[in-house]
A = this chain, B = another copy of it.
Amino acid sequence: MTNRTKARLSQRIADLHASPIREILSVLNQPGMVSFAGGLPSPESFPPCDLSAVPAEFLQYGASEGELALRSQIASDMHDIGLPCEPSQVLVLSGSQQGIDLVAKLFIDPGSLVALEHATYLAALQVFRFFGARFSRLQALLEAQDDAMQVPKLTYVIPTFQNPSGYCMTAAERDALAQACDRTGTVLFEDDPYRDFVYEPCERNPVCARLDRASWVYQGSFSKTLAPGMRLGFLVASPDLMPYLVRLKQAADLHSNRISQWWVLQQLQDPARHARTQALAQNYRVKRDNFSSYLDHYFKDLASWHVPQGGLFFWLKLKQTLDTRKLLPLALEQQLAFMPGEAFMPEPTAGTGQIRLNFSHATADQTEAGLARLAEVFRRALQACA
């Protein structure tokens, strides 16, 4: 790039870094690669892609808000999970990553404070940073007494099977968070892509449903339970935010793919839908249990972890506080991918000694052999650092 062009880049570009997601996705297609890195669903989980009955009019432009029938179905689903809303509060998204972009545009100026979990979803951090956010801890929000200057504009949380930690907030924690939002006036942005992958009884009622006064955005994904390639998600918001979010959506891509919207609606209206989702969760529960056994076998002396009650990830803490980014190339050499914990940290860190491992994507055979080899990579590295 010439200096002339460089001088023309926006200031925010200085805060745009390559995402480990993308870098890792780019090596995943190599034959023989075993990936514990992404949050990829199992390929056997996809419903049939029968699109033969798509009405021809779906090839024309559509509404920015999304198809009304789909929005109505989503509103009905929201009622079922304890967050009743009107179809007019539903905005169809081109994947829930888009919701993060829209919400960031709506609230974040350079220097704006965003409260979030330490650690949290790396591509949310990437977008918030890009728009100039500073980060604060949820704990500070919970302790804040009023809407003073230091209260965050936005609070981003993944209360149910958090990414990367797998943690599921208790009812008391959800109440405390909702009360803090009401007290301080921070806008609550609740990201909930994993809620259907539940393996033990636990609280999953949305935090947004517990708010009295604060404005809020709740978002869900069809990528994990249906198919990521369709790139469809949705958000539901308090009515005051909807006019802004719809305009931002229109400016971003006019509207979401209508073929995907048609297909997702068929899946949501399929009488076998809930049985299918439960079978998928059962399949992932077995995968989690197997993964847990292999971790016990191969990683016991290397790391500690909690078995997650749901979701797609184990979050391991190594016995030494290494910079796990430096171990990634060693793993990739062995055709193994994992996600370094540093990528999930809101603040720069020299090393956290934490890694995220996905258990939904690899097959049973790949998992055992892959974890055995990955443990060897870590064992050698830990010995070298000892």
Contact A11 B109 (CB under 8 A): yes
| Residue count of chain A within 8 Å CB distance of chain B | 87
Select which of B40, B94, B251, B258 is within 8 A of A123 by beta carbon: B251
The chain B residue with its CB closest to the CB of A50 is B52
Give Cα A227–Cα B59 distance, bound, in whole angstroms: 5
Contact A49 B51 (CB under 8 A): yes
* Interface mask (A39-51 → B, CB under 8 Å = 1, otherwise 0): 0110100100111
Give Cα A58–Cα B57 distance, bound, in whole angstroms: 23
Q: Is A8 an interface residue (CB 8 A)?
A: yes
Point out the residues of chain B lying under 8 angstroms from A385, CB to CB: none
Contact B240 A255 (CB under 8 A): no
Give Cα A51–Cα B63 distance, bound, in whole angstroms: 23
Select which of B61, B106, B185, B215 is within 8 A of A13 by beta carbon: B106
**Given A8-B187, A240-B2, is A230 in contact with B257 using a C-beta cutoff of 8 Å?**
yes
Select which of B10, B52, B64 is within 8 A of A51 by beta carbon: B52
Q: Is A350 an interface residue (CB 8 A)?
A: no
Point out the residues of chain B lying under 8 angstroms from A112, CB to CB: 10
A and B contact pairs by CB, cutoff 8 A, 10 listed? A2-B185, A21-B254, A22-B64, A49-B56, A49-B59, A50-B52, A52-B52, A58-B229, A59-B230, A229-B258
A residues within 8 Å of B by Cβ?
Answer: 1-2, 4-5, 7-13, 16-19, 21-22, 25-26, 38, 40-41, 43, 46, 49-52, 54, 56-64, 94-95, 97-98, 101, 105-109, 112, 123, 126-127, 130-131, 147, 153-154, 185-187, 213-215, 223, 227-231, 240-241, 243-244, 246-248, 250-260
Point out the residues of chain B lying under 8 angstroms from A13, CB to CB: 105-106, 244
**What 17 new A-B contacts, CB under 8 Å, besides A19-B251, A40-B60, A257-B257?**
A1-B215, A2-B185, A2-B213, A7-B185, A11-B109, A12-B105, A16-B247, A19-B247, A43-B57, A60-B227, A61-B223, A62-B228, A94-B94, A126-B251, A229-B259, A230-B258, A230-B259
The chain B residue with its CB closest to the CB of A8 is B153
Give Cα A62–Cα B130 distance, bound, in whole angstroms: 23
The chain B residue with its CB closest to the CB of A250 is B22
Point out the residues of chain B lying under 8 angstroms from A248, CB to CB: 16
Contact A253 B98 (CB under 8 A): yes
Give Cα A108–Cα B215 distance, bound, in whole angstroms: 29
The chain B residue with its CB closest to the CB of A215 is B5
Contact B231 A94 (CB under 8 A): yes
Contact A19 B105 (CB under 8 A): no
How near does chain B come to A363, taking the closest CB pair, in angstroms? 14
Give Cα A64–Cα B231 distance, bound, in whole angstroms: 12
The chain B residue with its CB closest to the CB of A131 is B10
How near does chain B come to A9, taking the closest CB pair, in angstroms? 6
Contact A97 B253 (CB under 8 A): yes
The chain B residue with its CB closest to the CB of A5 is B215
How near does chain B come to A4, taking the closest CB pair, in angstroms? 4
The chain B residue with its CB closest to the CB of A153 is B8
Give Cα A299–Cα B351 distance, bound, in whole angstroms: 72
